[in-house]
A = this chain, B = another copy of it.
Amino acid sequence: MAQCELVELGFGDVLCEAGDPIRHVYFPTASFISLISVVDKGSNLEVGLVGAEGMLGSSLLLGVGVSSLCALVQGAGPALRMEATQFSRELKRSAPVRERLNLYLYVLITQLTQMAACARYHLVEARLARWLLMTRDRAQSNEFRLTQEFLAYMLGVRRAGITRAASQLQQRRLIAYSRGKMRILDARGLEGVSCECYASAAQMYARVMA
């Protein structure tokens, strides 16, 4: 903690492009960050979401100082950050820290594999619901700012596809949104619409990190 510096992450900030060397690791406190896989330019897909429960830069745990993903700030807010070199040094020193973070990396990996199948099979509406729930957990609030454009980018679909799905959810009084303001009205109901990926990921986290 003493080695960390408190920084404010702004919405839309790119902390790291794919292939970049990792300068800092981040521990969001009340912010959250999307991990995005980039194949061709234009084909982007969110494969992970990091909030207060996790960290950005976990590949340093494996001794690799290069990120293979793009890190985009999804929810503005404070985070702690540490120099990558310092972080590596700290890892060497403390086995408990290492073990704990290893567990988190494991959870993250399972999240990745699940997201892969989710993006392949599940319908936009279900994925949208899942995304909203995951974001809610990390934002620790039922309300947050985001545009449909942005959602489309995250889920890798057309904006029009989001409009359709979101309208459906709104008609069923599960969410309320307008002009960049999203509010979740009925989280329980959303879980019903969402794919099990949400519940499954939450459960995985709880089980492993317990």
Contacts and interface: CB of A to CB of B under 8 A. Distances in A.
B118 A119 contact: no
Interface in A102-133: 102-103, 105-106, 109-110, 112-122
A113 B62 contact: no
Q: How many copies does the complex hold?
A: 2
A113 B112 contact: yes
Contact of A116 (B63, B102, B119): B119
Interface stretch (A37-45, A80-88, A172-180, A181-189): A37-45
Interface in A21-37: 35, 37
Contacts of A71: none
Contacts of A195: 39
A13 interface: no
A7 to B, nearest CB: 26
Given A37-B113, A59-B106, A68-B113, 20 more contacts: A37-B114, A39-B114, A39-B117, A39-B121, A39-B197, A40-B121, A40-B196, A45-B116, A47-B117, A61-B102, A62-B105, A62-B106, A63-B102, A63-B106, A68-B106, A112-B112, A117-B156, A119-B119, A119-B120, A121-B156
A169 interface: no
A156 B208 CA distance: 28
Interface string A137-158: 0000000000000000000100
Interface string A49-70: 0000000000101111000110
Chain B CB within 10 Å — which of A40, A61, A113 has the most? Answer: A113
Contacts of A38: 117
